[in-house]
């Protein structure tokens, strides 16, 4: 039991505009969260999965897990309450892991942090990220950006054009030595600074972060087009 996962699912899904947490939206007949959890359940090394949920949704998540994974709900998959920002939710997830007795007895420990909304994760990519985590201690999966990226000012004028070849779009999983990332979250939360990804937190506290090749299929369900795209990708995989 020296590998665990934290899956933040406590968002509101505002950009999806569906009026509810997007992790419940159906992707080819199964909720987004079901796809995401299945990738983790398929990797035996992952001994515990902390699913971080909004306080108002704890009951529906509990019911869902008890139906979908009756043998593992409350044991291999556990729930904890999220916070206002993604960073708050991940921090809560890490803290809840810290309180797991079996975990505190393990030697070197690795945690994979993965967005619930990134439902097309494959067990293979998860395994590759864990292997890299053991090797480097702080790892994110990422892909080369396809678009040229512009930095803009508040009035919409371009302020800079970074060289595309040096840019990567960061995804999850992001995998870390547990002690290191927990310490980083502690420090950052005390400072009141916020980051949209966990590598950002690690970088801000001086960690060297290695990126490995992710997949363009490993998209995050954020806006409605992402749902249609995800369904097309899943259908292709089923062929």
Give the footprint of ligand CTP on this chain (CB under 6 A). Answer: 8-15, 22-23, 52, 82-86, 89, 115-117, 220, 222
Q: Which does 4 bind (CB under 5 to 8 A by kind): ligand CTP, Mg ion, none?
A: none
CA distance 221 to 216: 13
CB-nearer residue toward ligand CTP: 117 or 188: 117
Reduced to 3 states, what is the DSSP secondary structure of residue 236?
A: helix
CB-nearer residue toward ligand CTP: 5 or 137: 5
Question: Residue 105, Cβ neighbours under 10 Å: how many?
Answer: 10
Residue 11 CB, nearest distance to Mg ion (Å)?
A: 5
CB-nearer residue toward ligand CTP: 51 or 139: 51
CB-nearer residue toward ligand CTP: 115 or 177: 115
Residues interacting with Mg ion, by CB under 5 A? 11
CA distance 112 to 46: 9
Residue 114 CB, nearest distance to ligand CTP (Å)?
A: 9
Backbone angles phi, psi at 25, to 5 degrees: -65, 145
Residue 86 CB, nearest distance to Mg ion (Å)?
A: 6
Residue 157 CB, nearest distance to ligand CTP (Å)?
A: 26
CB-nearer residue toward ligand CTP: 109 or 174: 174
Task: Answer whether 204's CB lies under 8 Å from 188's CB.
Answer: yes
Task: Answer whether 204's CB lies under 8 Å from 195's CB.
Answer: yes
Q: Which does 207 bind (CB under 5 to 8 A by kind): ligand CTP, Mg ion, none?
A: none
Q: Which does 209 bind (CB under 5 to 8 A by kind): Mg ion, ligand CTP, none?
A: none
Residue 56 CB, nearest distance to Mg ion (Å)?
A: 16
Annotate 137-180 with DSSP letters as a single string: SEEEEEEE-SSPP-EE-TTS-EEE---GGG-EEEEEEEEEEHHH
CA distance 79 to 73: 9
């Amino acid at each position: 039991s020296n590998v665990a996962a934290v899956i933040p699912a406590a968002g509101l899904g505002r950009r999806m505009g569906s009026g509810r947490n997007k992790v419940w939206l159906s992707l080819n007949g199964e909720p987004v969260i079901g796809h995401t959890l299945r990738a983790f359940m398929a990797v035996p090394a992952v001994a515990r999965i902390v699913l971080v949920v909004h306080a108002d949704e704890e009951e529906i998540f509990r019911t869902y897990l008890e139906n979908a994974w009756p043998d593992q709900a409350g044991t291999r998959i556990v729930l904890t309450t999220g916070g206002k920002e993604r960073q708050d939710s991940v921090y809560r997830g890490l803290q809840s892991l810290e309180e797991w007795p079996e975990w505190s007895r393990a030697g070197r420990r690795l945690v994979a942090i993965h967005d619930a909304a990134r439902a097309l994760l494959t067990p293979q990519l998860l395994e590759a990220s864990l292997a890299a985590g053991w090797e480097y201690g702080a790892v994110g999966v990422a892909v080369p950006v396809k678009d040229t990226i512009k930095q803009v000012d508040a009035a919409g004028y371009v302020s800079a054009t970074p060289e595309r070849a040096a840019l990567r779009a960061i995804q999850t999983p992001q995998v870390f030595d547990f002690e290191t990332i927990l310490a980083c979250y502690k420090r950052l939360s005390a400072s009141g600074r916020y980051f949209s990804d966990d590598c950002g937190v690690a970088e801000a506290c001086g960690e060297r972060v290695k990126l490995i090749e992710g997949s363009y299929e490993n998209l995050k369900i954020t806006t409605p087009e992402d749902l249609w795209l995800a369904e097309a990708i899943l259908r292709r995989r089923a062929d």
